[in-house]
Amino acid sequence: MRVARASSRFSARAAPAYDARMPPKRNPLGLNPLQLKTLTLFQALARLPDHGRSEGEGGVLVANLPQPHGDHFHLGDAVVMTRDASGLFNQAAWVALERKGLIKSMFPDAAVVTELGLGYETGLDDAILMRADHGGH
C-alpha cells in the first residue's frame, strides 16, 4: 500500500497542469519553408475579393492566381518577391498542403483553403508580404 500511495503522489506531481495561457505549438503540422510560404500566400489571397470566394464548410476558394512580373508581384496592398512565391506554381507543395488538410487542390488553377488552413499560424505574413506606408502618395 505504501508504494501505491507514493506512486500516485509522484504521478500527480510529474504531470504538468495544462495552462490555457501557454502559446500554441509553432508549426504543429511540421510544414517545410516552401509549404509555409505557399500557405501564407493562399491565406493572403483568400482575404482579397479579386481572388477569394467563400465556400461551404468554412473554406475559401482561391483562384485568379497572380502572375509574377520580374522579381515581384502585387497582392492587394502588399508586394511579394517571386522567390517567396515559387510554391504557388509547384504541384508538390500543393499536394503536401492538401495531404495535411490545409487546402483542397485544383492545381494549377485554384485551391480551396480549408478552415484549418485559414487559421494556421505560419508566422510569415510580415516576412513575405511587404507593405509600405506611402504617406498618401
| Band of residue 89 on the pLDDT scale cut at 50, 70, 90 | very high
CA dist., res. 38 & res. 95, Å (int): 11
3 state DSSP class of 120: coil
Report the candidate in 25, 10, 20, 132 with the shortest Cα–Cα distance to residue 80.
Answer: 132
pLDDT tens sequence across 44-58: 999 999 999 999 889
CA dist., res. 103 & res. 77, Å (int): 24
Domains observed in the chain: 29-128 (1.10.10)
17 has pLDDT over 70: no
| Band of residue 6 on the pLDDT scale cut at 50, 70, 90 | very low
